[in-house]
Amino acid sequence: MTGLPPKIADSAQRWIHFSVCGESHAVDIRSVREVLNQAVIEPVPGAPPSVSGVINLRGEIVTVIDFAAWLGLPGRAESRALIVLDNRRVVLALVIDAIHDVLRLEGEVLQAIPAEPEFEGPQYRSAVIEREGKPVSLIDTDALLGAITITR
């Protein structure tokens, strides 16, 4: 398939499939440090609306992003589950609704992201797959973490 990043198209990978406000996403399992079902989120005065606060993760202070707010989705995540992402430069936690499963993907099931000329925001999706008849956005974690740290 053309138009897909080589790191996705060239090999089978495992992805953690999750949802937020009715949208399905997946992140490469290699970018996930851990998943937390509960955590005490301390608010940060003056933080942007997409920043829920910070958590103390075994002595490391980690910024928590309300992923629904950052995406501009109406409403908030139904639960307070967190997925902690780590790309060796940035560690952030995303508030999500639920983890669904671990997907094993082959290059041929991926669809390229259609160009969105009217959208000028950060491009964080690498590809889309269909899972049970619904789209699942595959997230380029490096692009997402870079976009969040730039825009927050």
pTM value > 0.95: no
Is 115 within a domain?
yes
Q: What is the CATH number of the domain that holds 96?
A: 2.40.50.180
Structure tokens at 110: 């991926």
Quote the CA–CA distance of 121 and 112 in Å, as a whole number. Answer: 18
Amino acid 1: pLDDT:
38
Query: Looking at the 3D structure of the chain, how many domains does it have?
Result: 1
Of 1, 30, 25, the closest CA to residue 13 belongs to: 30
User: b/e string for 30-42 if b means 16 or more Cβ within 10 A?
Assistant: ebbbeebeebebe
Task: Give the residue numbers spanning the domain of 71.
Answer: 6-151
Amino acid 76: pLDDT:
67
Quote the CA–CA distance of 59 and 33 in Å, as a whole number. Answer: 15
Is 121 within a domain?
yes
The per-residue pLDDT for range 9-68, each reduced to its tens digit, is 445 588 999 999 888 999 999 999 999 988 899 999 999 888 999 999 999 999 999 988
Amino acid 17: pLDDT:
94
Quote the CA–CA distance of 75 and 31 in Å, as a whole number. Answer: 26
Structure tokens at 25: 């996403």
Is 112 within a domain?
yes
Identify the DSSP state of 111. B
Is 59 within a domain?
yes
Q: Exposed, middle or buried by CB within 10 Å (0-12, 13-18, 19+), for 61?
A: exposed
CB atoms within 10 A of CB 135: 12
